[in-house]
Amino acid sequence: MERTLGILKPDCLRRRLMGKVINRLEDEGFAFVNGMIKHLTQKEAEGFYYVHKDRSFFDDLVEFMTSGPVFIMLLERENAIAKLREVIGATDPAQAAPGTIRREWAESKQNNLIHASDSLENAKFEIKYFFSNKSGS
């Protein structure tokens, strides 16, 4: 079994779509190993998204991710990283495949409801960033 990290972003919680997204993930065979609702601080958001620090959208991303609570999920299933990326769809909902979470419910490229780890290396970092080694590795 493989583990990955997902984050339901502030727009997902603000729009009360958390239950729909969680149901979809469960329907896709994901098991919820751990989860927490958290309001990220600026420092936490900057640290989590540090790989994007030199990109033009970094400040807007940090501002968005600190604009309200998020639901951080430690998920598990076979091929979890690739499957979660498939289920959520492309970053830009206009380019996401039909039936994906972002195509169904996301409003924009920034307000796209959910974050998902994009590689095994990033999943390991992201899981450790929010969860202890005991529950996350």
Q: Is 52 a catalytic residue?
A: no
SS3 for the chain, per residue?
CEEEEEEECHHHHHCCCHHHHHHHHHHCCCEEEEEEEECCCHHHHHHHCHHHCCCCCHHHHHHHHCCCCEEEEEEEECCHHHHHHHHHCCCCCCCCCCCCHHHHHCCCCCCCCEEECCCHHHHHHHHHHHCCHHHHC
Given 75, 113, 115, 123, which residue is catalytic? 115
Catalytic residues: 115
